[in-house]
Amino acid sequence: MKGLATVLKKECIDNLRDRRTIISSFSLAILGPALFVGMMAFVLNTALGEALDPVKITAVGSDNAPRLMAYLERKNTEITRAELADPRQSVRDGDHDLVLVIPDDYQARYRKGEINALALIHDSSGLGRSKRDMSRARALIAAYGQVIGALRLELRGIDTSIVSPIVVQERNVASPAARALTILATLPYLLVLVVFMGGFYLAIDTTAGEREHGSLEPLLTQPVSRAELVLGKLGATVCFAAMSLVLFLLSFWIAVPFVPLERIGMVLKVGLVDCVVMFLVCIPLMVFAAALLAVVASFAKSYKEAQTYLSIVILVPTMPLIITQLMNVETSTWLMFVPSLSQATLVSDVITGEIIEPLHFLISAVSTAVLACLLAYLAVALYRKERILV
Amino acid sequence: MITAEGLKKTFGEVQAVKDVSFSAADGKVTALLGPNGAGKSTTLRILSTVLQPSEGRASVDGHDVLTAPLDVRRAIGVLPHNAGIYDRLTARENIRYYGELHQISKIELNRRMDELITVLEMEEFCDRRAAGFSQGQKIKVALARALIHHPKNVLLDEPTNGLDVMATRALREFIQHLKREGRCVLFSSHIMQEVANLCDDLVIIGHGEVMFEGTLDRLASRTQETDLEEAFIKVIGE
């Protein structure tokens, strides 16, 4: 056991001094939640903005059509009245996003029943708001025009339905809450990835790295059993995976209050206790990840080769998550037998405030731990072979 | 005391060692001499327990490499070919790691470390991180960590490889120092002159077999050659 502890300590100190390992192990853990909050805030704000924020229009010659202005203002439009010498240029220059030009002879033509052409000047190369405002303004003005047209037909005793044989009714069922939940569902996936990324470089450095560097052979001449040697290295990898997860959970805990979830009436309460539960759920996964990464890295002849293999391996645990999400699989007992998938499901339960079933927790922990032990045994067996040197 | 009897080692189709028997005595420097690919490294790797012989027996101070590898490892200090040290650890930390693996007590470990640092003249760089060390400095660190548990037997695989004249000279003196302490030193080389200056006993290996075992004088009398290089070439039959 003393040999194991010595190896573990050395690998941790050695790798904590490596900037490359630190960046690779912890950047996702620290930046992930910030990215997550940013995405959530963006989606929520745009979703809510579309529904509630008024359309902003700059009107030139607004006095010519006071009733149109009144109609627009009733329909949640913010009108800035202005007299612009060259409305096109001012939109081009970006001084105004959307300009409605009402000609001076508007009233005269209106009274005569002639067509009035209103110019709506916008810049389609702009992003975000201006496009949305443009289509909303166009729809509002068209609707106003239809109201006037209908009134005129009725005055002449004609049924208005004759000019609108088809009516399209659009219903968007996606609520802001549903969109927020879609992003929330990626969180367990991120968490599993953070565990694997935490151990990624250590798994390489302690196996393929050590061999490439020529320090493995002298190490094998030390009076330490291969089991202690390998388990010490795995222990260090688990430590890094754990550090990565702790940083992630801390960062997440700090970031959560910044998500404007209350605007859609949702409550996301992730307390420190929840973070501890999530950590506990993931402990067997850390051992599993460390052993899996170490076994694969042991087959590689060089650092680079190991890196290539592991970047593929790291996708494997995320596969079941993607598949179940696409297939919309419900939480069930059999899911708990699959490492990474069971942890992700349990973490998802914690986040959405559901109570974890003790049986599920138990099955997840035991089955993942058993697989982790098998992989660790395989790693030790690989190190007992002479081939590990060549 | 190191003995090898009828060692054989095959890697798949390749026979790296066919028949190697010799013994290296305490208080003497024994050289394992042979051309590249003769099986020197493989023999040393079997003796240091990282490889297992396909056939034959080998023992260090009476401990069999197959049945008691941990005892063998405690009795030997090994400097493998092109041994790497840890760049992100200081020289001292590199040595301490091996000392801890040998479970030497802290006080004793510090005492031996200071001693080795003095003998190997490492004071100047012992607290610096190993990244950027010269080849000579690296070898010194690797040697110090191999000897931290004060092993009775020392195995050195081409230790002068990549060293300049001064460093080679220092290493030669250090090997003499180990010999005076009564240790059994076994080192491999493919350079005849180096061997002549250093060793008491000579084991010449060619094509995986021992071609000659004995003192330098015996080699000269057997081959009727006073020039060592000529004698060497005669023995390996090229």
Tell me the mean pLDDT in the region A68-76: 87
- Here the tokens at position B213 are 């075992």
The pLDDT tens digits of the residues spanning B163-220 come to 888 888 888 999 999 999 999 999 998 888 788 888 999 999 999 999 999 998 898 8
* More confident site: B183 or B12: B183
Strand partners, B5: B57
Q: Look at residue B161 in the predicted model and tell me its pLDDT.
A: 84
- Here the tokens at position A101 are 């030009």
Q: Look at residue A244 in the predicted model and tell me its pLDDT.
A: 96
State pTM to two decimals.
0.81
The pLDDT tens digits of the residues spanning A309-363 come to 999 998 887 777 777 777 766 667 788 888 888 898 888 888 877 888 899 999 9
Calculate how close chain B gets to A234, using CA atoms only, in Å: 17
**Partner-chain contact B103 A214, CB within 8 Å:** no
Is residue A175 very low, low, confident or very high in pLDDT (cuts 50, 70, 90)?
Answer: low
What does DSSP say about strands B29-33 and B201-206: parallel, antiparallel, or unpaired?
A: parallel
Calculate how close chain A gets to B10, using CA atoms only, in Å: 12
- Reference A238, options A281, A295, A284; nearest CA is A284
Is the pLDDT at A238 greater than 90? The verdict is yes
Q: Which residues of A touch B (CB under 8 A)?
A: 2-3, 6-7, 10, 13-15, 17-18, 213-215, 217-218, 220-225, 386, 389
Tell me the mean pLDDT in the region A44-63: 78
Q: Look at residue A223 in the predicted model and tell me its pLDDT.
A: 94
DSSP states along A203-265: HHIIIIIHHHTT-HHHHHTSSS-HHHHHHHHHHHHHHHHHHHHHHHHHHHHHHGGGS-GGGGT
Calculate how close chain A gets to B89, using CA atoms only, in Å: 6
- Distance between CA B22 and CA A199 in Å, rounded? 46
**Partner-chain contact A217 B74, CB within 8 Å:** no
Fold classification of A53-175 is abc type-2 transporter like fold (3.40.1710)
Is the pLDDT at A62 greater than 90? The verdict is no
Compute the CA torsion angle A360, A363, A366, A370 (nearest 10 deg): -130
Q: Look at residue A137 in the predicted model and tell me its pLDDT.
A: 87
ipTM: 0.94
Q: Which residue of A has its CA nearest to B41?
A: A217
- Here the tokens at position A84 are 């612009």
Say if residues B63 and B26 touch (Cβ distance below 8 Å): no
Is residue A129 very low, low, confident or very high in pLDDT (cuts 50, 70, 90)?
Answer: low
Say if residues A7 and B103 touch (Cβ distance below 8 Å): no
Q: Where are the domains of chain B?
A: 2-229
- Interface size, chain A vs chain B, as Cβ–Cβ contacts under 8 Å: 70
Residue span(s) of chain A under CATH 3.40.1710 come to: 53-175
**Least confident window among A254-263, B7-16, B123-132, B167-176:** A254-263
Mean pLDDT score of chain A, rounded to an integer? 86
Q: Look at residue A177 in the predicted model and tell me its pLDDT.
A: 65
Tell me the mean pLDDT in the region B66-94: 94
Is the pLDDT at A97 greater than 70? The verdict is yes
CATH superfamily of B2-229: P-loop containing nucleotide triphosphate hydrolases (3.40.50.300)
Say if residues A130 and A122 touch (Cβ distance below 8 Å): yes
- Distance between CA B46 and CA A352 in Å, rounded? 59
- Reference B77, options B52, B112, B108; nearest CA is B112
DSSP B225: -
Residue A60, amino acid? V
- Distance between CA B149 and CA A228 in Å, rounded? 19
Burial B130-166 (b: 16+ CB within 10 A, else e): beebeeebbbbbbbbbbbbbebbbbbbbbbbeebeee
Tell me the mean pLDDT in the region B88-112: 96
- Here the tokens at position A31 are 């930046």
Phi-psi category of residue B109: left, alpha or beta, with phi > 0 → left and psi -120 to 50 → alpha: alpha
Q: Look at residue A36 in the predicted model and tell me its pLDDT.
A: 82
Is the pLDDT at A229 greater than 90? The verdict is yes
Residue with tokens 């499901």: A345
Q: Look at residue A176 in the predicted model and tell me its pLDDT.
A: 63
Q: Look at residue A283 in the predicted model and tell me its pLDDT.
A: 96
